[in-house]
Each structure stands twice: as C-alpha cells, then as structure tokens.
C-alpha cells in the first residue's frame, strides 16, 4: 500500500511539471521547430555541457589518483599490462578530448540563425579514406602490441621451476593446496569430498600425499595464502559449485573457476607485502582509509594483498575473500615447512 503512495507522488510530480509549463505560457508556441533564440541558448549551453564533461574528466582523473590501485604492479606480468594500459589510456584521452571538442564546438558554432545557409557537403572520398586508414593503422599497432602482451602474460610454458598452487572456490570461501615436494598436484574431484577432505583430493593418487592444504593461521584463525617473491606461480583453479573468479587486482591477474574443469593463470610476484606497504601510493591510500575509518569508529587496517571473487556466485558474493602474503623465498620456504601435508592432516 505504501508503494502506491510513492507512485501517486510520482504522478503528482508529473502533473505539477506540466501545470508549471502551462502557467508560464509555454504551451502556446506557434513555432514548431526551434527558434533562433532557442538555438542560441541551447548552442551556448552545449559549450557548458562540454566544459562539464572536461571538468568531470579532470576531476575524476585527479580526484581518484589516491583511491586507485597502487601504481606499482605486484608481479612481473603487471609491468607489461600496466605499460600497455598507460599507452592505451593516453591514446583514448587524446582522442576523447579532441572529438568531444569538435562535437560541441561545431554545435555551438553552427547553431541555427536566421541568415545561415548550410553547406551542401555530401561526400569526400579523400577524407573518408583518411579516417578509415588512420584508425586502421593505430589499431594494427594496438593489436600487435596487445597480443604480444597477452602472450607474455598467459604463456606459462617457459617458466623455470614454477610453484604449483591449486585455488579451490566454493560458496563463499577460498581454499588452496600447494603441490608439495614433487610439485605435482594429486588428482581431485568433488566425488572424493568427505569429512576433512574438503577439496575432494583423490588420496589413492601417488602425487596427493605430499600436497599441502592451506590451513588457517593459528593466531588469526584466517587463511593466508603465502607466495614467494621472484618465483613464478602457476595457479590451477577449480570450483566446487558455481562459477567463481579468482581476482587478484594488485597482481593484475584474474581467471574464472569453472566446475568440471581446471583453469590456469600464472604470475611472478615481484613485490613483497612489506615492500608494498612501504610504497608511497599504498601509504597515502591507507592513511586516507584509516582517517575515514577512525571517523566512523572502526579499527585501523593495514595493506594486504587480496584475492576477491569476481563472478556473481550468490548472496555472499560481495564478501568472498582470501588474504595473500608475498614474502622473500627463504621466508616462504620456512613457512611452507610448518604446514602439514595431506598424508599428515587427513
């Protein structure tokens, strides 16, 4: 019933809007097409809109510089992606700036006036040739550079001694399994899920016994995925129920987890958590965040790498996360030693 009340308000607003127009005598206009005066006002206002768009662009670029991800990508692959991104973004901004200026300037400059005669200009093969070829050449460059980058990021075939980690997604949490001493993951399938074997590892597979399932940190009771700096990590992704997506924005990495198959993504972490915390962008961002949190009466936080779910997966999709810790390889190896293998834990 309350909904009806809101609908009536909406209708009433519409009627008010029309009555105002009637009161102002605006309905009696004889002239159907825009008058020179209307052309003049709206042509000038178009320049205002252009200014608004430019101001919005600058404000968005400048105003969000402290909230974006840290400039420093946390993996070797991120370097390639970020460079391609910078070039593409620069190109886009230049084109955007010029084309918007042309649209709104022409609209303003050629707004209809009494004496103006439009110029009959139907075709120019030379012009059209130019603006077909120019984008074609620019895009050819973007395609070649883009595909080169794509191969750099996706091709894991020449990785030396990669670390194999399985990420296992389910509503609404992440699990992980390190491949252990043989660096080969034991087979797994949901049909083997039983009791504490929550990832469904086939324990009859000889590669399974030395696998290490990520256990919660005994102090925080939270799972923390440890990664070594400087060693390529190949993630094998699986899902238990619906689609999920392992999104690690600081490493510029993302891949879906698909039930029934194993997907893969790799990267080489290049910045430890400690180094990233000390990086100026990160420091500024977290100073701002903590100031904000303080004003809301929340506890302070410090930077951590994150794995987020980025494919709609159900009610708690918005809170499906895993903390990632990047550390020096020696520290990583020390930590890994403290973890129990499946043979010990199951």
Partner 1 sequence: MSDHHHKETFVTKYIFSQDHKMIAKQYLITGMIMGIIGIFMSMLFRLQLAYPGESFGIIEAFLGEGGEGGVMTPDMYLALVTIHGTIMVFFVLTAGLSGTFSNLLIPLQIGARDMASGFLNMLSYWMFFLSSVIMVLSLFVTTGPASAGWTIYPPLSALPQAMPGSGVGMTLWLVSMAVFIASSLLGSLNYIVTVLNLRTKGMKMTRLPLTIWAFFITAIIGVISFPVLLSAALLLIFDRSFGTSFYLSDIFIAGEVLHYKGGSPILFEHLFWFLGHPEVYIILLPALGLTSEVIATNARKPIFGYRAMIASIIAIAFLSTIVWGHHMFVTGMNPFLGSVFTFTTLLIAIPSAVKAFNYITTLWRGNLQLNPAMMFSIGLVSTFITGGLTGLILGDSGLDINVHDTMFVVAHFHLVMGVSAIFGMFAGVYHWFPKMYGRMMNKDLGYLHFWLTAISAYGVFFPMHFTGLAGLPRRYYNNTAFPIFDDLLAINVVITIFALIGGFAQLIFLANFFISIKKGPKAPQNPWKSNTLEWTAPVEHMHGNWPGEIPHVERWPYDYSKTDANGELWGGQDFTPQNVPIREGEEVF
Least Å distance, CB 214 to partner 1, is 19
Least Å distance, CB 180 to partner 1, is 23
Lay out the site mask for partner 1 across 257-276 (x = CB under 8 A, - = otherwise).
Answer: -xxxx-xxx-----------
**How many positions of this chain bind partner 1 (CB under 8 A)?**
134
Q: Which of 71, 316, 333, 345 binds partner 1 (CB under 8 A)?
A: 316
State in Å, rounded, how far the first CA of the chain is from the last one.
57
Which two three-digit tokens encode residue 234?
A: 């190949």
Binding to partner 1, residues 134-153 (CB under 8 A): 135-136, 139, 142-143, 146-147, 149-153
Q: Considering beta carbons, is residue 312 or 330 the nearer one to partner 1? A: 312
Q: Considering beta carbons, is residue 24 or 221 the nearer one to partner 1? A: 24
Using DSSP's 3-state secondary structure scheme, residue 114 falls into coil
Report d(CA 263, CA 240) in Å as an integer.
Answer: 13
Respond yes or no on whether the N-terminal peptide bond of residue 172 is cis (omega within 30° of 0).
yes
The sign of the dihedral angle between the CA atoms of 209, 213, 219, 221 is negative
236, containing H or E segment = strand 233-239
Lay out the site mask for partner 1 across 171-210 (x = CB under 8 A, - = otherwise).
Answer: x-----------------xxx-x------x----------
Other CB atoms closer than 10 Å to residue 264's CB: what's the count? 12
Q: Considering beta carbons, is residue 42 or 339 the nearer one to partner 1? A: 42
Q: Could you tell me which of 302, 267, 266 has the C-alpha nearest to residue 283?
A: 302
Q: Which of 51, 71, 116, 330 binds partner 1 (CB under 8 A)?
A: 116
Q: ∠ CA 11-14-18 to the nearest 5 degrees?
A: 145
Binding to partner 1, residues 274-303 (CB under 8 A): 285, 288-289, 292-293, 301, 303
Q: Considering beta carbons, is residue 136 or 330 the nearer one to partner 1? A: 136
Q: Considering beta carbons, is residue 74 or 176 the nearer one to partner 1? A: 74
Binding to partner 1, residues 317-336 (CB under 8 A): 317-319, 321
Residues in the chain: 346
Report d(CA 346, CA 40) in Å as an integer.
Answer: 79
Report d(CA 69, CA 154) in Å as an integer.
Answer: 22
- Put the strands of the sheet holding 233-239 in their side by side order: 212-213, 173-178, 163-170, 233-239, 263-267
Report d(CA 292, CA 98) in Å as an integer.
Answer: 38
Q: Considering beta carbons, is residue 4 or 218 the nearer one to partner 1? A: 4
Least Å distance, CB 172 to partner 1, is 10
Least Å distance, CB 338 to partner 1, is 28
Other CB atoms closer than 10 Å to residue 230's CB: what's the count? 13
Is residue 106 within the footprint of partner 1 (CB under 8 A)? yes
Binding to partner 1, residues 223-252 (CB under 8 A): 237, 240-243, 245, 247, 249-250, 252
Binding to partner 1, residues 35-64 (CB under 8 A): 38-39, 42-43, 45-46, 49, 52-53, 56-57, 60-61, 64
């Amino acid at each position: 019933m309350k909904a009806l009340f809101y609908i009536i308000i909406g209708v009433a607003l519409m009627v008010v809007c029309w009555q105002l127009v009637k009161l102002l005598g605006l309905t009696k206009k004889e002239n159907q097409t825009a008058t020179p005066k209307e052309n003049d006002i709206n042509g000038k206002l178009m320049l205002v809109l252009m200014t608004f768009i430019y101001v919005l662009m600058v404000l968005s670029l400048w105003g969000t510089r402290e909230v974006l991800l840290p400039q420093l990508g946390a993996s070797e692959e991120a370097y390639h992606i970020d460079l391609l991104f910078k070039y593409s973004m620069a190109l886009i901004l230049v084109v955007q700036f010029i084309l918007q200026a042309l649209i709104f300037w022409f609209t303003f400059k050629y707004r209809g006036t009494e004496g103006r005669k439009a110029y009959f200009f139907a075709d120019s093969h030379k012009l059209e040739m130019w603006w077909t070829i120019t984008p074609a050449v620019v895009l050819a460059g973007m395609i070649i550079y883009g595909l080169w980058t794509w191969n750099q990021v996706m091709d894991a075939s020449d990785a030396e001694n990669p670390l194999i980690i399985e990420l296992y997604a389910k509503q609404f949490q992440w699990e992980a399994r390190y491949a252990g001493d043989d660096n080969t993951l034991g087979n797994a399938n949901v049909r083997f899920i039983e009791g504490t074997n929550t990832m469904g590892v086939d324990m009859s597979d000889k590669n399974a016994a030395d696998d290490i399932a990520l256990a919660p940190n005994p102090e925080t009771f939270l799972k923390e995925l440890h990664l070594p700096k400087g060693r390529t990590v190949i993630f094998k992704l699986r899902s238990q129920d619906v689609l999920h997506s392992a999104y690690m924005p600081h490493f510029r990495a993302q891949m879906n987890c698909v039930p029934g198959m194993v997907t893969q993504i790799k990267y080489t972490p290049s910045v430890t958590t400690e180094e990233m915390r000390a990086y100026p962008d990160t420091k500024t961002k977290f100073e701002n965040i903590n100031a904000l949190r303080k004003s809301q009466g929340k506890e302070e936080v410090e930077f951590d790498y994150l794995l987020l779910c980025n494919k709609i997966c159900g009610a708690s999709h918005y809170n499906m996360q895993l903390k990632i810790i990047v550390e020096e390889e020696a520290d990583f190896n020390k930590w890994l030693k403290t973890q129990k293998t499946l043979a010990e834990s199951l």
